[in-house]
Amino acid sequence: MTAYACVGQPLPKADGIEKITGRTVYMHDFKLPGMLHGRIKFADRVSARIVSIDTSEAERVPGVRAVITAHNTPEVRFGFLKDNTALKKDRVRQYRDEIAAVAATTPEAAEEAVRKIRVVYEDLPAVFDPEEALGPDAPLVHEADPRGKPLEDNRLRLPWKVEAGDLEQGEAAAVHVAEGEYDVGWVTHCCMGTSGCVAVFDGRGDLTVYSNTQIPSLAKTDFQEALKAMGVRGRVRVVNAAIGGGFGSKLDTYAYEYIAILLAHRTRRPVKVEFDREEEFVATSPRQPARIRVRQGCDADGRLTFRHISMVLDNGAYTSWGATTPTVMMMPATSLYRVPNVRFEATCVYTNNTYCQAMRGYGTPQVTFAIETNLDELADKAGLDPYEMRLRNANEPGETTPQGFEVTTCGHRECLEAVAERLDWAGKRGQGEGGGRKRRGVGMACLLHVGGGAKIYKSDGCGTLIKMDDQGYVDVFSGSMDIGQGLDTVLRQIVAETLGIGTDRVNVIVGDTDVCPWDVGVHASRSTFVAGNAALGAARMIRDQILAFAEQLTEAPREILDLRDGQVVCQEDPSKNLPLEKLLYKAHFAKTGNTMFMASHFYEPDTRLLAGDFKGNYSGTYTWGCHGVEVEVDVDTGHVEIVRYVAAHDVGRAINPLLLKGQVYGAVLMGIGYALTEEMIFEQGRLRNANFRDYKILTARDAVPVETVIVETDDPAGPFGAKGIGEPGLVPTAPAIANAIYDAVGVRLHTLPMKPEVVLRALLDRDGGPGPA
Amino acid sequence: MARFAYHRPATVDEALGLLADLGPDAVPVAGATDVWVNLRSGKLAPRALVSLRAVPGLAGLDRSDDGLTLGACATHAAVEDDSWIAGRLPALHMACSQVGSRQVRNVGTVGGNLCNAAPSADAAVALLLYDAVCRVEGPGGGRDVPLDGFFLGPGRTALAPGEILTGIRVPVPRGRTVAGYHKLTRRKAMELPILGVGVRVTLDDGGAVSEARVALGVAGPTPVRCPGAEAALAGGPLTAERVEAAAETAAREARVRDSWRGQAWYRRHMIRVLIPRILLGC
Amino acid sequence: MDGVVVRFTVNGEAAAVRVEPDWTLLRALREGLELTGAKEGCGAGECGACTVIVDGRAVNACLFPAVEAEGAAITTIEGVAAADGSLHPLQRAFLDSGAVQCGFCTPGMVLSAKALLDRTPRPTEDEIRTALAGNLCRCTGYVQIIEAVQAAAEEMSG
């Protein structure tokens, strides 16, 4: 592959110095003159009719400037199905429902006022299990849809179904079949910076929202709709503060943002709403739980003949992106490994639990846990080494999958082989059973993820503007956003490479909808690919403009001119080399010039919107990977210790290996948390463990030295060959660990997390040990 | 957060005077790491805090042949960093080293941990093994309260209103001793124990157990000793059979409960597993 | 506002802040002195984002009563780099090792690491992990953070 000057370099993160010295301004640090502090009164019941809301005492708290409820503000609807409102008028459906809100001069006054809001409820029946919620007698979470049409049951009208090949034929051709049910619950993002925003109206009625959203452009549209609902004729600007972690949590707008807007409008002052940690746990939307049934089979040689996946999703009380995760779960369901006959169907059900959202992997960690654990079970039935089974069914470059994905580059096999070799698969597998209290085992699992955007919205594009000043500095205005993943740095490298200048000459500006072009958002591991291609396109236009001007200046033909090391280089006559600053100065000021170099490019991947039959190529390319893990299981305590962890990914090309490894390390540890320690514990809809002591994200003492393998396949569609890698690192983590536990101690676990008591229970049940006392 | 006054007396007498004047609305604090969380959540709403941090000498460790005296304001980190304690009172060292984070251990005190009287108090379990005695000062003078009788219930201690804990005396066992504290957790740090198990046996010259202590955290309303298990260990050699019998007794004696933090069967089972692990290293 | 004045040194300079009895050191630093590098991530001593060094020891400023800082010497992230702006070896190593992503935990993480290296110039990996265990990070998986502390320790102790 071509060697580059900037691309491929392990550059430190561009905003790192600001962060390392404590200068970065997060939403937590952001304030405006005259700013009020907003606080929300959340529901005290999980399902009830609101009989009355008495805010009189709250209004009398010194410093309080406004107390709003659904009764004294316009209705603002939001969400994927518009089934949620900023403030709830006559009904609560979950504990996080917003009943009222206060704006006050200090956070303390706002808190005191919220405590003094009196709500009278009339309890209604509630339902917490999605399958019970499907029953004929289940209480309705919503009696009517947003248009007022009565609903007869709790099932969401969503068409999540895809089918290819002939399932019955595939069943008939199968010699071995594995079937199982896999149940994965709620986990949450745990961004270290809690959510918040500041809303402010100017004198004309224009609204600015200072935000930590991952979707500046879509949030702008959402807020613009809110203004319309409020009868305000103004425009919206969304400006980002630095984001203290995203992971999908900020991929949709939340009630708190609309509440800040309503409070700012009511008080004519800037209003900040910022969650404390408990609110962050309770009132942001976690990963979508799922109850997944998998049935798949293979022929005598271990080649997959069919796969059938059906699932029930607990949607919670309102609808956000969680309900749409099946559209991405379809991808590994139909296309991870070559399976000719596939069917996938998902049912989403309203319950009185919290509603769900996007979280790193967008459904694929859930369904991959089911597929890859089940595949191990199938290999067992077929008497095959699970590694061999995977190799036999591995995806290949150039194939079109049953769902219609056009696979270009594919390093699936290389990733499998790398993991098997690094882990000493052949030497280690099957050694676990036998004596001793601590038994080791190895397991692996693979992943397929979108690596070139995901067209789940009308446009999957990103716009970029580039302007160049006359001193050789470049400003890149990208619609995308840096959420810590390193977009700022990757775009620098791409633009610097294209223009033959140092990365220190490139300034990346993101997070202001008045300045930056449209982008669908930071999700689907798309930013390096889509925003990278957008920046690359614009940079190439600048390059062309510079070279065209250089052609005039040097009278050397364009074909022999190049941009390198900050100069225009004439390959045949170095005496004609021209420092870029000189050229830029001439272009701007000399008689020949009076021009400045600017360019814009909107990159839209050549992909198909996922809808209708849900078939077609909906990503510009696909990322492949395999994770392998060696565990040690303590058979007396059920503790699982990670001994070694190998994560191999086909990333197309590593634009920045340092930051890329950071994505993998972080994702893997998040995946280990998903596998072993993390769970949101809901009892009757109430979250019990809304703090870091009881919600167990892993610590530095738990950190695992992950061995990363970077497979480069130089994707033709990617910027300099790159694919997305933001999410993949946690997609196959849980099944790899589950499979390793099986290899170590011979029990199959179908629920997450595989915490010690779960492992121990499975061992005791198998061995006829003491029952639950 | 509720409003309160914050007092920083310079002597124990001054602190006692303040507590007497302020009455039941005043809470004595040391590191305040637990109290502050409860103030913030509204679980505690005192009118005044009386901090013992400025009282000279209360933060010290006093080591002698007889044992250790911990000032009530000695931090967990002070114990963690002390190699004398690690050598002579290893279970106490293990317990203190595993509390919260280094930041919490740097401020949070062993005395405060005892006065909180949480069933999960790590140091309490370890100190029960060593027959620790609490030194209490009050309006009517000082008294010694054996730790075994210090905990009355969750959040309730033998401290009378107006009394404060000023120190903890921890005798060093005489004779060959095996002792340990196992904190059962899911993560490797930043945890409350799902179960805390402490065991100490001191052997006579003939190899028989002359003194046995078994103590548990999160196995009842307070940190507790297990007299039945201690009796099962005492008076004989430290054999696997006798240890397992003691573990079985402790598991039966334990008043473990089901909670969303951990199930009773798991806690009970782990008592059976961990006591032999501590004593026999397996 | 009533309250009391607390005097301490912060990053080598004398400071006096008027605080209420229920203020934390974190609030005194952030609101009283506009030193906003220390963050509140949980307010309960469970995440470490508010870590500062008080008299040589890393503490959670969110649980530290402001009035208890009287007379103390405090280091915040703003005082870790040299006066001329040159980075502390730990900061340099965090950058170069890729130990910073969203950066919200970074100030606290650096101060926990600094408190460790100030007492234990050549820590073992286990000591590093123990010292940092109270600083949660959701982005990095800690791998590059641990590497950064190792690199800084090596550089600082020659």
Residue span of the structural domain in which C45 resides: 4-79
Q: Which pair of tokens denotes residue A295? A: 């049935």
Inter-chain Cβ pairs, chain A and chain B, closer than 8 A:
56
Sheet holding A48-54, edge to edge: A91-92, A48-54, A118-123
B48 touches A at CB < 8 Å? no
Provide the pLDDT for residue A434.
Answer: 65
Rounded (5°) CA angle A499-A501-A507: 90
Cα–Cα distance for residue pair B36/B46, rounded to 1 Å = 11
**pLDDT band (50, 70, 90) for residue A433:** low
Domain C-terminal end among C79, C106, C139: C79
pLDDT digits (tens, 9 = 90+) for A571-624: 899 999 999 999 999 999 987 678 999 999 999 999 999 889 999 999 999 999
Distance to chain C for B247, nearest Cα, Å: 31
Pick from A720, A745, A725: nearest CA to A636: A745
pLDDT in tens, C105-120: 999 999 999 999 999 9
- Convert the pLDDT of each residue in A77-98 to its tens digit: 999 999 999 999 999 999 999 9
| Residues C17, C65 share a domain | yes
Position A707 scores a pLDDT of: 98
**pLDDT bucket at A317, cuts 50 / 70 / 90:** very high
For an interface test with B, the pick among A670, A691, A693 (most B C-beta atoms closer than 10 Å) comes out as A693
Q: Please judge whether B36 and C130 are an interchain contact, meaning their C-beta atoms are less than 8 angstroms apart.
A: no
Contact between A186 and A354 (Cβ < 8 Å): yes
Q: Does domain A290-454+611-767 have CATH number 3.30.365.10?
A: yes
C113 and C60, same structural domain?
A: no
User: Does a structural domain hold residue C99?
Assistant: yes
Out of C43, C134, C142, whose CB is closest to A703? C142
Contact A19 C136 (CB under 8 A): no
Question: How far is the C-alpha of C158 from the C-alpha of C152, rounded, in Å?
Answer: 10
pLDDT-derived band at A219, boundaries 50, 70, 90: very high
Average pLDDT over residues B130-134: 98
Q: Does the structure show a pLDDT above 60 at B266? A: yes
Whether B121 and B199 share a structural domain: no
- Cβ separation A193–C104 shorter than 8 A: yes
Rounded Cα distance, A360 and A214, in Å: 12
Per-residue pLDDT, B2: 54
Average pLDDT over residues A396-421: 98
Task: Yes or no: say if A509 and A516 are a contact pair by the CB < 8 Å rule.
Answer: yes
Percent of chain A with pLDDT over 90: 96
Kindly report which listed range (A16-20, A313-317, B23-27) carries the lowest average pLDDT score: B23-27
The token duo for A109 is 């006054």
Q: Average model confidence (pLDDT) for chain A? A: 96
Neighbours of C86 (CB within 10 A): 9
Q: Please tell me the number of Cα atoms within 13 Å of A652 on its side-chain side.
A: 26
Which domain covers residue B243, as residue numbers? 176-280
**What percentage of chain B has pLDDT greater than the value 70?**
99
C-chain residues near B5 (CB < 8 A):
21
- Taking the CA of residue B189 and the nearest CA in chain A, the distance in Å comes to 6
The answer to whether the beta carbons of residues A650 and A713 sit under 8 Å apart is yes
pLDDT under 70: residue ranges of chain C: 1-2
If one counts every other C-beta atom within 10 angstroms of the C-beta of residue A685, the result is 22
Same domain, C11 and C32: yes
**C147 part of a folded domain:** yes
On whether both C70 and C94 belong to a single domain, the answer is: no
| Distance in angstroms (rounded) separating the CA atoms of residues A319 and A323 | 6
> Which chains does B contact via 3+ CB–CB distances below 8 A?
A, C
User: Could you tell me the CATH number of the domain that includes residue C69?
Assistant: 3.10.20.30
Cβ of A694 within 8 Å of Cβ of B261? The answer is yes
- The domain boundary, picked from C20, C46, C79, lies at C79
At B3 the pLDDT is: 83
The first and second tokens of residue A334, run together, are 């139909």
Chain C contact present for A277, CB below 8 A: yes
**CA-to-CA distance for A282 and A284, rounded, in angstroms?**
6
State whether B187 and B164 are in the same domain: no
Domain boundary among B143, B171, B199: B171
List the CATH number of the domain containing B27. 3.30.43.10
Decide if C139 and A245 are in contact by the 8 Å CB cutoff: yes
Task: Please count the residue pairs, one from chain A and one from chain C, whose beta carbons lie less than 8 angstroms apart.
Answer: 172
Query: In angstroms, rounded to a whole number, what is the distance separating the alpha carbons of residues A401 and B238?
Result: 65
User: pLDDT digit string (tens) for A71-80?
Assistant: 999 999 999 9
Architecture of domain A31-124+194-243+250-283: Alpha-Beta Complex (3.90)
Sign, CA dihedral C109-C115-C118-C123, equals negative
Per-residue pLDDT, averaged over B142-152, amounts to 98
Examine the domain organization and report whether B137 and B194 are in the same domain. no
Any chain A CB within 8 A of the CB of B118? no
| Domain harbouring B204, CATH code | 3.30.390.50
Q: Do B240 and B258 fall into the same domain?
A: yes
In degrees and rounded to multiples of 5, residue C104 shows phi and psi of -65, -35
Q: Determine whether the interchain pair A244/C43 forms a contact, defined as Cβ–Cβ distance below 8 Å.
A: no
Which residue out of B97, B103, B187 would a mutagenesis test of the C interface target, given it has the greatest number of C Cβ atoms within 10 Å?
A: B103
Residues B198-218 pLDDT 10s = 999 999 999 999 999 999 999
Provide φ and ψ at B85, rounded to 5°. -70, -40
* Measured CA angle at B43 (ends B42, B48), to 5 deg: 75
Contacting residues of A for C40, CB less than 8 Å apart: 28
Q: Is residue B56 in a domain?
A: no
One domain, residues B28 and B76: no
Residues A642-649 have a mean pLDDT of 98
Domain count, chain C: 2
Cis peptide before A753 (omega within 30 of 0): yes
Position C63 in a domain: yes
Which helix or strand (DSSP H or E) is residue A273 part of? strand A271-274
Mean of pLDDT values over A619-646: 97
Domain tally, chain B:
3
The pLDDT score that the predictor gives to residue A773 is 44
Average pLDDT of the residues of chain C: 97
pLDDT 10s digits, A328-339: 999 999 999 999
One fold for both A31-124+194-243+250-283 and A290-454+611-767? Answer: no
CB contact under 8 A, B190 and A692: yes
Residue B160 lies in a domain: yes
pLDDT digits (tens, 9 = 90+) for B58-82: 999 999 988 999 999 999 999 999 9
- Is residue A755 within 8 angstroms of chain B, CB to CB? yes
Contact B190 C43 (CB under 8 A): no
Kindly report the backbone phi and psi dihedral angles of residue A197, in degrees, each rounded to the nearest multiple of 5, phi listed first: -160, 165
The answer to whether residues B165 and B241 belong to one domain is no
**Same structural domain, C43 and C66:** yes
Examine the pLDDT at A771 and tell me if it is beyond 60: no
A565 pLDDT more than 90: yes
B269, A676: Cβ pair inside 8 Å?
Answer: no
Structure-block tokens of residue C73: 């010497």
Does residue A430 register a pLDDT over 50?
yes
Per-residue pLDDT tens digits for C63-83? 999 999 999 999 999 999 999
Cα–Cα dist A466/A515, whole Å: 11
Residues C72 and C101 grouped into a single domain: no
B16 and B34 both lie in a single domain? yes
How many CB atoms sit inside 10 A of residue A163's CB? 18
Nearest in space to A469 (alpha carbons), one of A493, A489, A494, A499: A499
Domain range summary for chain A, segments of one domain joined by +: 31-124+194-243+250-283, 290-454+611-767, 461-603
Same domain, B76 and B164: yes
Give the chain A residue whose CA is nearest to the CA of C104.
A244
DSSP calls for B26-51: EEEESS-HHHHHHHHHTS---SEEEE
Name the domain boundary from C79, C106, C131: C79
Which residues, 6+ apart, have CB-to-CB distance to C78 below 8 Å?
A: A21, A22, C11, C35, C37
**Residues of chain C found within 8 Å of residue A276, distances taken between Cβ atoms:** 43
- Considering the domain delimited by A461-603, tell me its CATH architecture: 2-Layer Sandwich (3.30)
Cα angle C100-A444-A308, degrees, rounded to a multiple of 5: 110
- CATH of residue C97: 1.10.150.120
Whether C84 maps to a domain, the answer reads: no
pLDDT at B282: 57
Please tell me if residue B28 touches chain C, with a CB cutoff of 8 Å.
no
User: In this structure, are C110 and C66 located in the same domain?
Assistant: no
Q: Which of A253, A251, A255, A239 is nearest to A189 (CA)?
A: A251
> Is A696 within 8 Å of chain B by CB?
yes
In a domain, B31, yes or no: yes
Whether residue B186 lies inside any domain: the answer is yes
